[in-house]
Amino acid sequence: MSKFEIGDRVTVRNLPALFHTRTQGYTRGHTGVVVGLRPKWVIPEDEAWGRYEGRREPFYMVRFNQRELWPDYGGAVIDTLETEFSERWLESAAAENTAGKTP
């Protein structure tokens, strides 16, 4: 079972990256909406380091408003960006808010 459903608001965990990542720095700590579900795949953190039969997780397509990603975004307010995350990188945006953490 997938942890998130289409329409869920999710925040990308704001963890530091070292050596290699598939979670772009510009997405970490930012909140978007799940707009697509992907099949389970081996997470890149395992594939990148030679664990080809590593941990498998669902992936999610998340849509961000560009103003959420870039405070100085100069384009239209309706502009968006979509990119994907494995489950471990996402947490419910609501849960994050109650924990009092700010991105």
Partner 1 sequence: MNTSHQHTDAHTPIEGRDEAIEFEILETAVRELSIAKGLFSAEDHRRFMEWYDNIGPTGGARVVARAWVDPQFKQRLLADGVAACKELGIDWMAPTGHGTPSDFTWLVACENTPKLHNVIVCTLCSCYPRPLLGHSPAWYERPNYRRRVVRWPRQVLAEFGLIIPPDVEIRVHDSNQKTRYIVLPMRPSDTEGWSEEKLATIVTRDTMIGVAVPRIDWTTTSTPSGQARAE
Partner 2 sequence: MSSTLYAALLQSIRAHAPQERHEADLPLTISQRRAEAMLHVVHDLGGQPDGPLDKSLHKTALWEKRTHCTAECLAWRGVWVSEERRRRENDLGETLYFGTPYYARWLLAAAKMLIDKGHITPDELIAKMEEVRAREEDAA
The site for partner 2 (CB under 8 A) is made up of 17-22, 24-26, 44, 47-50, 52, 69-70
- For residue 31, give the H/E element and its range: strand 31-42
97 binds, among partner 2, partner 1, none (CB under 5 to 8 A by kind): none
Instruction: Decide: is 70 part of the binding site for partner 1 (CB under 8 A).
Output: yes
Structure tokens at 9: 């608001």
49 binds, among partner 2, partner 1, none (CB under 5 to 8 A by kind): partner 2
Q: How many whole angstroms separate alpha carbon 97 and alpha carbon 72?
A: 23
Instruction: Decide: is 55 part of the binding site for partner 1 (CB under 8 A).
Output: no
29 binds, among partner 1, partner 2, none (CB under 5 to 8 A by kind): none
Q: How many whole angstroms separate alpha carbon 83 and alpha carbon 2?
A: 18
Work out the number of other CB atoms within 10 angstroms of the CB of residue 1. 3
Provide the minimum distance between the beta carbon of 99 and partner 1 in the complex, in angstroms, as a whole number.
26
